[in-house]
Chains A and B, each alone.
Chain A
């Protein structure tokens, strides 16, 4: 059966409104997406598909809609990154060490989406434990980007770590998906796949029930096809949760309303330090185009300086592995997941972890253990925490002069699977523009803005003040309105 393109091309806002108006049923909408998922299985965007549960939830949504009791997202089908624990549905973090793990509880963020009436289609692929920028470290194999270079059919990476979510949304497998961002894992894959990805302020979404990578950085957010859709999803993912001690207790605005917020007169900061030597000229050009679009919307560009930008990646590659080495200590073969046999307890731990973790995760555990080990803690870990303060201070000072910051999302477009595999540092550089805002805990969005010379999508990033997602969303909407970006990967109608 061919998927009904009229249904799989709908945005979340369109699906929601169409369901309310009873133009189609939630079951029809779910069936169209289930068929599209089957058609596009070659992308490897999902680790687990849950079609039967989706049909059941859709039927229940239809019953509510028929009674006029539909909730905000009643019947809207979504993908869930396989880092969110889902009650009764296998959750792997794309790692062999968790293969077969079935949580007996639901993450707060996914529960909020179900409470708003959304329907789960399945669990999307990712880099193992969200560690990566290309979705090539998954135990379940790489995800393919639905985009290809002109005249070149080599499969490209979708970016990472939320590569499955971004690819699924770009190819019409779901209109939106949850994602998580530690150093760019929402924004960079969104840019690579030509979709929008919004990382909210740290503390906005509960981390409870999300498999932990680096707890002081991890933050959930949405990937969808339009700025409005990310805003709709974020409204239903956010909110205080007593079960996460870093969840922030403040009211959740109607983020969708922010799409219509006036931006005239707002100041947009352009950080001098993001103009890197040897930057792809097409990206530089698109950045300038973005400035012109925002000027056209009535915003004023101002030059700003973020002097510690170049230290953000080294800081990140101390702090994130350090926190990861601590968080991943729980995978010991005793309580869940893989257990490898050993002659004693210690050997059982070492064999389990040696066999269960992939190469990149092992590398980061080793770096993290090293920088936290006796004699090195002050030189590396404490030093990195201090430089992190300076990076956050840079942003605080910049936001005295501007209301939002515009940068490219990534230094390049999607690359081929297998490229940049030999050099971890070259891979880490993908996140050069996204990591600083993560370290400062600030909200950021990637909005698709244009194509490179090979016909691949490129994104622009907007960064806002803490808890000012609304200005980020409003400015992103101004870019989206002017970029008229065309997503060509939804399949021919």
Chain B
């Protein structure tokens, strides 16, 4: 397996992360090294082993389907880099 510049550019785009072209090469080398180290896991036989997705043996709890919060629009908007008339704003997405 090898991560080339194009793959790094693709995952950066999937992650919505701007990576300057000049940094792609270095990142590819670095990530390759890390992924090579990680591939040690191929040595482990995991046939019939259940994946562990959480640390505690928990069952998700049920709760009543009721409103428990709300009425805090101004608090929610207070940290927005830009908000107008009670809404978050984003660059225009519909022509």
Interface string of A339-370 (1 = CB under 8 A from B): 10011111111110111010000110111011
Q: List residues of chain A with CB within 8 A of the CB of B40.
A: 310-311, 314
Please, how many angstroms separate the alpha-carbon atoms of A373 and B78 in the complex? 35
Question: Chain B contacts of A350 at CB under 8 A?
Answer: 13, 16-18
Q: Are the C-beta atoms of A354 and B18 separated by less than 8 Å? A: yes
Binding site for A on B (CB under 8 A): 3, 7-8, 11-20, 27, 30-31, 33-35, 37-42, 44, 46, 49-56, 58, 60-61, 63, 72, 75-76, 78-82, 88, 90-93
Q: How large is the interface on A (under 10, 10 to 19, 20 to 34, 35 or more residues)?
A: 35 or more
Q: Give which listed residue, B27, B50, B55, contacts A440 with CB less than 8 A.
A: B55
- Beta-carbon contact of B79 and A337 below 8 Å: yes
Task: Choose among A216, A217, A317, A362 the residue that contacts B34 (Cβ–Cβ < 8 A).
Answer: A317
Contact pattern, A 91-110, Cβ under 8 Å of B = 1, otherwise 0:
00000000001111000000
- Check A325–B52 contact: CB distance below 8 A: no
Q: Which residues of B contact A310 (CB under 8 A)?
A: 40
Contact call A344/B93, Cβ cutoff below 8 A: yes
* Given A344-B91, A367-B34, A373-B11, residue A335 in contact with residue B52 (CB < 8 A): no
Selected contact of A216 from candidates B12, B17, B49, B54, CB within 8 Å: B54
Tell me if B91 and A345 are in contact (CB < 8 A).
yes
Min Cβ gap A355→B in Å is: 8
CA A104 – CA B72 in complex, angstroms? 10
Q: Considering the complex of A and B, which 4 residue pairs feature the smallest CB-CB distances, nearest first? A: A441-B55, A354-B18, A385-B51, A339-B81
Query: Could you tell me if A389 and B49 are in contact, using CB atoms closer than 8 angstroms?
Result: yes
Cβ A389 vs Cβ B11 within 8 A: no
**Interface residues of chain B: helix, strand, loop or mixed (majority):** loop
A249 vs B11: C-alpha distance in the bound complex, in angstroms?
39
Q: What chain B residues lie within 8 Å of A438 (beta carbons)?
A: 55
Which residues of A lie under 8 Å from residue B56 when comparing CB positions?
201-203, 246, 248, 441, 466
Contact A334 B80 (CB under 8 A): yes
Which residues on A sit within 8 Å (CB–CB) of B54?
202, 216, 246, 441
Contacts of A317 in B (CB 8 A): 34, 37-38
In the complex, which residues of chain A have a beta carbon less than 8 angstroms from the beta carbon of B60?
245
In contact, A342 and B31 (Cβ under 8 angstroms): no
Q: Are A382 and B17 within 8 A (Cβ)? A: no
| Cβ-closest chain A residue relative to B49 | A386
> Which residue numbers of A lie inside 8 Å of B, CB to CB?
101-104, 201-203, 216-217, 242, 245-246, 248, 308, 310-311, 314-315, 317-318, 325, 329, 332-339, 342-351, 353-355, 357, 362-363, 365-367, 369-370, 373, 380, 382-390, 392, 424-425, 438-441, 466
Q: Given the complex of chains A and B, what is the CA–CA distance between A322 and B20 in angstroms?
A: 22
Cβ of B93 and Cβ of A345 under 8 Å apart?
yes
Asked if A369 meets B14 with Cβ closer than 8 Å, knowing A216-B55, A311-B44, A439-B55, the reply is yes
Beyond known contacts A246-B54, A314-B40, A343-B91: 15 more, CB 8 A cutoff? A104-B79, A202-B55, A216-B54, A242-B63, A311-B40, A317-B38, A332-B16, A336-B80, A337-B81, A344-B91, A347-B91, A354-B18, A366-B19, A366-B27, A370-B7
A203, B38: Cβ atoms under 8 Å? no
Looking at the assembled complex, report how far the CB atom of B57 sits from the nearest CB atom of chain A, in whole angstroms. Answer: 8
Give the chain A neighbours of B15 by CB distance below 8 A: 325, 353, 365-366, 369
For the complex, what is the distance from the CA of A369 to the CA of B30, rounded to whole Å? 15
Contacts of A202 in B (CB 8 A): 54-56
Chain A residues with CB under 8 Å of B53's CB are: 216, 385
Can you list 20 residue pairs at the A/B interface with Cβ under 8 Å?
Answer: A102-B79, A104-B76, A104-B79, A203-B56, A245-B60, A314-B38, A318-B38, A333-B81, A337-B81, A346-B16, A347-B91, A348-B91, A353-B16, A353-B18, A363-B30, A386-B46, A386-B52, A390-B44, A424-B34, A466-B56
